[in-house]
Amino acid sequence: MVDYQFVTIWKFNAPLGEVWHIIKQMDAWPSWWKYVSRVELLKAGDANEIGAVRRITWHTALPYTLTFDSELISMEKYVRMEGRAFGELQGQGIWSFSQESDITIVRYDWLVNSTKWWMNLLAPIARPIFSWNHDKVMEAGYEGLKKRLES
């Protein structure tokens, strides 16, 4: 397996609580995140959704899709959410939230491995393309969330 480590920073002129709630509501991602095709709740979590498992299907800027499950494993309200990914991607995703003046800063750390044989086979030469693709997917998330916050 090939390791990928991505860091994405989003900045919004919006209240931290509003940004937090929109990102936390994963079931609604397809309504504002261009590359999220579907989110299905597979297992309910506790009152804070810890332990909830959702299956997310992504199409990408490149002609392929990825489907993996995401389990919310920890959360500190308005500060951090951590998930465990398994399926076609496996690893860890961490959303971190902070505020500077009126600007909400969101950091996403994505530490994953692909389980798709063809991605692993092509990784030595295609890693820059996969990184570009990840950036495009995250850029679309930023633009979609920004529009949602402005409406």
Residue 72's domain spans which residues?
3-150
Residue with tokens 């309910």: 44
Which residues on adjacent β-strands are paired with residue 3? 113
Residues of the chain scoring pLDDT < 70: 1-2
> The CATH number of the domain where 55 resides is what?
3.30.530.20
Q: What is the reported pLDDT for 20?
A: 98
* pTM listed for this prediction: 0.94
* Number of domains forming the structure of the chain: 1
The 10s digit of each residue's pLDDT in 89-122 is: 999 999 999 999 999 999 999 999 999 999 989 9
